[in-house]
């Protein structure tokens, strides 16, 4: 008898082929040959930073078991699980460690672990105990601002307050590159030896000797000729994967701050946004250029307000690319820096005839909230894109603790905690009128802090929110890309396991949920919601 898992895999393969055909017709991002895989080998899934994946996801509603716990616990804060050069394994990265995970046969088993430099196992144990009580799995043990601040104070954050491993990339030789403090680490996996499988630090790059005083690493991406592009809070540096002398470097204004990573196009245009300017910097193969003759440009965008997000001002999004191949409009999109944000598109290449502005179009984001709403509508998340469609979320709630969003998101679900933010919206770019329009908006949907993602095969966009009603707690909701209707829901419960805490929302090739929980990555069988040992 054929098992339901075998049937599910066969269906996923068929739908995956259809998705690839559709994506090819729609001119998706050009695959980077120096990445380990076309999807999931880099933060935000691909070099275009689309947050879109080609796998089909089943519709319907399911709940995970009450005692569900990540099969690969890795210490708190797990922002993404990355592809390797083999479909049988994945890299797991957290704020404290790196793991190598066997995903064969519907499994999810960590086979090797390496603690990041300076991290002791006792710290991992302490941090895990602060955010999870196995005797009360459905209760958030972080019940006060003081407890949340104690937890955050123990994290091995970088000089600029960023999470270690926040921006990671895996190359075509299966080497993982991550940020850890002021270093870039190159990590490799060995399947055997006297002590069994292991992860080793192959080499390290001390960025403190390259960055300006007070700078921190905010992004790591791969160019299409196989170099690393390292984004600093006021700079961009090109380094070979062997970590030799930097091949190119540009610095930006001392009054600017970059808080997100970069997108890269197939011609090695690198797109970075500061709190004041959107830029295209061009890697020519020998020079990192800001010259217009090489196709580089910079543009101001609406900004200057302050609001209750992680960085408090400027764009909260990593730039994302739209339009590829023979598509008529080549764009880079962000959310801007106004209290009630706009979705902004810039012409990536030469400004077309009949246009004079680098900004191709912009549109207010309302998230379906009333016109009389005066609160902030802002986001820490990148724009999720699929074709000429774009999806954004509101990450600012109607009230807060007055400390930081990190504290508020750790408190979520505890008695007296601030409410979860509400509001999402989908837009479309019209290549005939060269303008945005709103497709739908939902003010009743919560997207608390995770990065939304899109299933191109199922035409669904996914968000992770918190709902106190009926003790439902954390849910993973799939909304129809065209209508906004909720057609998928995985109920994760009120406990801390359901808190993704700024992570990517991922799905496996067979449609299983890969949930990057605060406590570690977890594979949830779809449909059904089972979490296998």
Q: What is the CATH topology of the domain spanning 4-524?
A: Methylamine Dehydrogenase; Chain H (2.130.10)
3-state secondary structure string across 395-463: CCCCCCCCCCHHHHHHHCCCCCCCCCCCCEEEEEEECCCCEEEEEEEECCCCCCCCECEEECCCCEEEE
pLDDT of 11: 44
Helix (H, G, I), strand (E, B) or coil at 58: coil
Strand partners, 506: 514
Mean residue pLDDT across the chain: 92
pLDDT of 15: 42
pLDDT of 415: 87
- The answer to whether 55 and 509 are in contact (CB under 8 A) is yes
Pairing of strands 460-467, 453-455: antiparallel
**Is the pLDDT reported for residue 533 higher than 60?**
yes
pLDDT grade, residue 154 (50/70/90)?
Answer: confident
pLDDT of 24: 33
Mean pLDDT of 152-175: 81
pLDDT grade, residue 160 (50/70/90)?
Answer: low
**Interatomic CA distance for residues 153 and 7, integer angstroms:** 47
Domain boundaries, the chain: 4-524
Rg (the chain; Cα; Å) = 21
pLDDT grade, residue 162 (50/70/90)?
Answer: low
424: left (phi over 0), alpha (psi -120 to 50) or beta: beta
- The answer to whether 151 and 130 are in contact (CB under 8 A) is yes
Mean pLDDT of 121-138: 89
pLDDT of 13: 41
**Is the pLDDT reported for residue 66 higher than 90?**
no
Per residue in 293-350, pLDDT (tens digit) is 999 999 999 999 999 998 889 999 999 999 999 999 999 999 999 999 999 999 999 9
Residue in this structure with the two tokens 């070099």, named with its chain if needed: 47
Please, what is the angle between helix 121-131 and helix 145-154, to 10°? 160
Helix (H, G, I), strand (E, B) or coil at 86: coil
- The answer to whether 319 and 405 are in contact (CB under 8 A) is no
**Is the pLDDT reported for residue 174 higher than 50?**
yes
DSSP code, position 340? B
Lowest mean pLDDT among 17-26, 177-186, 268-277, 510-519: 17-26
**Is the pLDDT reported for residue 19 higher than 90?**
no
């Amino acid at each position: 008898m054929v098992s339901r898992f075998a049937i599910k895999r066969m269906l996923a393969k068929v739908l995956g082929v259809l998705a690839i055909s559709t994506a090819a017709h729609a001119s998706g991002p050009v695959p980077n040959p120096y990445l380990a895989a076309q999807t999931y080998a880099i933060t935000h899934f691909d070099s275009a930073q689309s947050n879109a994946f080609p796998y089909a996801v089943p519709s319907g509603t399911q709940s995970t078991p009450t005692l569900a716990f990540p099969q690969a616990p890795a210490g708190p804060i797990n922002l993404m699980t990355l592809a390797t050069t083999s479909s049988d394994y994945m890299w797991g990265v957290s704020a404290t460690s790196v793991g190598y995970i066997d995903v064969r046969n519907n499994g999810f088993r960590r086979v090797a672990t390496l603690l990041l430099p300076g991290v002791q196992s006792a710290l991992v144990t302490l941090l895990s105990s602060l955010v999870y009580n196995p005797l009360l799995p459905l209760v958030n043990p972080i019940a006060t601002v003081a407890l949340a601040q104690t937890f955050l104070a123990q994290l091995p954050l970088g000089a600029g307050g960023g999470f270690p491993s926040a921006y990671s990339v895996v190359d075509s030789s299966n080497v993982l590159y991550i940020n850890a403090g002021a270093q870039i680490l190159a990590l490799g996996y060995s399947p055997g030896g006297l002590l069994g499988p292991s992860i080793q630090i192959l080499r390290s790059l001390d960025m403190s000797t390259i960055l300006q005083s007070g700078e921190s690493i905010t992004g790591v991406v791969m160019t299409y000729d196989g170099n690393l592009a390292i984004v600093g809070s006021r700079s961009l540096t090109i380094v070979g994967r062997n970590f030799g002398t930097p091949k190119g470097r540009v610095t930006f204004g001392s009054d600017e701050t970059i808080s997100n990573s970069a997108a890269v196009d197939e011609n090695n245009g690198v797109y970075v946004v500061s709190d004041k300017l959107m830029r295209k910097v061009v890697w020519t193969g020998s020079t990192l250029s800001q010259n217009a003759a090489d196709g580089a440009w910079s543009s101001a965008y609406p900004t200057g307000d302050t609001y209750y997000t992680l960085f408090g001002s400027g764009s909260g999004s990593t730039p994302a690319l739209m339009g590829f191949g023979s598509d008529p409009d080549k764009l880079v999109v962000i959310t801007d820096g106004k209290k009630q944000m706009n979705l902004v598109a810039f012409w990536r290449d030469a400004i077309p005839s009949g246009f004079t502005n680098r900004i191709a179009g912009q549109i207010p984001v309302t998230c379906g909230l009333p016109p009389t709403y005066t609160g902030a509508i802002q986001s820490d998340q990148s724009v999720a894109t699929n074709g000429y469609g774009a999806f954004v979320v509101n990450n600012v709630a109607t009230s807060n603790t007055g400390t930081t969003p990190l504290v508020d998101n750790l408190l979520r679900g505890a008695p007296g905690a601030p409410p979860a933010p509400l509001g999402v919206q989908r837009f479309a770019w019209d290549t005939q009128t060269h303008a945005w329009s709103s497709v739908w908006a939902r003010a009743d949907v919560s997207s608390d802090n995770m990065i939304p993602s899109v299933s191109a095969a199922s035409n669904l966009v996914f968000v992770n929110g918190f709902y106190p009603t009926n003790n439902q707690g954390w849910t993973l909701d799939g909304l129809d890309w065209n209508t906004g209707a909720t057609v998928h829901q995985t109920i994760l419960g009120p406990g801390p396991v359901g808190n993704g805490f700024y992570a990517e929302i991922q799905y496996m090739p067979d449609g299983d949920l890969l949930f990057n929980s605060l406590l570690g990555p977890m594979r949830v069988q779809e449909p059904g919601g089972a979490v296998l040992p």
